């Protein structure tokens, strides 16, 4: 595999579903390198931003913008993976914050969650208007206010343990066609979560981003 972009900084990864300028500014403050997944380049251009590179099958980027960006554009024509998959495969960075992958078309949102599991790294955080979505790491400890929402959605068979949740998950078996864990909430002020496989999607409120990122960078990752 030949990498297209490599950095020691965090990467803000722009997708095509759209995002507000404030969300982009929030992400760039933490992840200053800017990469676009295909049509995400259109969103950045509309906000006066230029990505350092564009990766995708290029069925969405505006032709005039593609021409203007020239060698920054990397065409990956295969259709067996999404543009997010391609970016996660071809970009190397300590972590990524993805914008424009949640909250628009349902099929695109589901595909993005699938990409998190395929990639196998908890250091890819998808940021939406209200939510942060990521693959739960093997172990996570972070401060959260009592009452804060903690949703767990299994993408396959997975189990784990928790402390701090109103409804602990110890001894429970999760699966997408069986038990799921949406709309749990904090009873204490510190979340401790372990899971036994890279198949659990963790969803928190967007306001948790700085604390969550700090916690994720301090934990082991699933990445192979």
Q: How far is CA 73 from CA 6, 37, 87, 196, in A?
A: 15, 10, 12, 38
Among 98, 129, 160, the domain boundary falls at 129
CATH (domain of 143): 2.60.120.320
Stated pTM of the model = 0.95
Note the residue count of the chain: 224
Q: What is the pLDDT of residue 223?
A: 75
What pLDDT is attached to residue 194?
Answer: 98
Q: 26 lies in which domain range?
A: 5-129
* Residues 152, 201: Cα–Cα separation, whole Å: 6
Token pair of 78 as six digits: 């295969």
**CA–CA separation, 15 and 215 (whole Å):** 25
Which tokens belong to 140? 């996570």
Residue ending a domain, among 72, 101, 129, is 129
pLDDT digits (tens, 9 = 90+) for 76-116: 988 789 999 999 999 999 999 999 999 778 998 999 999 99
Tokens 């990445």 — which residue?
223
Q: In percent, how much of the chain has pLDDT > 90? A: 92
Shared domain check, 121 and 164: no
- Do 51 and 121 lie in a common domain? yes
CA 129 to chain centre: 13
Q: Is residue 114 located within the same domain as residue 165?
A: no
- Domain shared by 68 and 164, yes or no: no
Same domain, yes or no, for 108 and 162? Answer: no
Determine, yes or no, domain membership for 222: no
The CATH number of whichever domain residue 50 belongs to comes to 3.40.50.10240
Instruction: List pLDDT tens digits, range 145-157.
Output: 999 999 999 999 9
pLDDT tens, residue by residue, 15-69:
998 899 999 999 999 999 999 999 999 999 999 999 999 999 999 999 999 999 9
């Amino acid at each position: 595999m030949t990498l297209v972009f490599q950095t020691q900084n965090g990467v803000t990864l722009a997708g095509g579903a759209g995002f507000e300028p404030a969300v982009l500014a929030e992400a760039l403050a933490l992840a200053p390198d800017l990469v676009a997944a295909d049509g995400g380049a259109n969103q950045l251009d509309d906000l006066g931003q230029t990505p350092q590179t564009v990766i995708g099958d290029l069925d969405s980027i505006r032709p005039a913008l593609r021409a203007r960006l020239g060698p920054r554009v990397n065409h990956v024509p295969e259709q067996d993976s999404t543009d997010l998959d391609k970016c996660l495969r071809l970009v190397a960075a300590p972590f990524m914050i993805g914008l424009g992958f949640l909250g628009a078309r349902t099929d695109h949102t589901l595909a993005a969650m699938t990409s998190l599991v395929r990639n196998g790294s908890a250091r890819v955080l998808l940021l939406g208007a209200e939510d942060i979505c990521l693959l739960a790491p093997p172990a996570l400890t972070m401060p959260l206010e009592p009452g804060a929402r903690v949703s767990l959605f299994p993408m396959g068979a997975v189990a784990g343990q928790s402390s701090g949740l109103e409804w602990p998950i110890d001894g429970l078996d999760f699966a997408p066609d069986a038990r799921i864990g949406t709309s749990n909430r904090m009873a204490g002020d510190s979340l401790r979560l372990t899971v036994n496989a890279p198949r659990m999607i963790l969803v928190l409120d967007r306001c948790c981003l700085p604390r969550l990122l700090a916690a994720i960078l301090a934990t082991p990752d699933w990445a192979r």
